Structure 1
Amino acid sequence: MDDRQFRNAMGKFATGVTVVLTEVEGHVHGMTANAFMSVSLHPKLVVISIDERAQMLGKITESNKFSVNILAADQKEMSMIFAGQMKQEDRNIVFNRLGDAPVLPGAIAQITCEVSAAHKEGDHTLFIGKVTNIHMEDSEPLIYFSGKYRQLAKE
Structure 2
Amino acid sequence: MSSSGIDTLTRVLPALLLVIGAPAALLWWNRSGKSKQTRTLRITDRAGFGKSAWVAIVEVDAQRFLVGAGEQGVNLISLLEPVAVLESRAESSSVETALVPRPAPVTNETNEGPRNGLVRRLQLMTVRTSTRPGWSSVSGQQR
Q: Which TM-score applies when normalising by structure 2?
A: 0.29
Structure with the higher fraction of residues in helix conformation: 2
**Bigger relative CO (Cα 8 Å, ≥ 6 apart):** 1
More strand by share: 1
TM-score (norm 1): 0.27
Larger Rg: 2
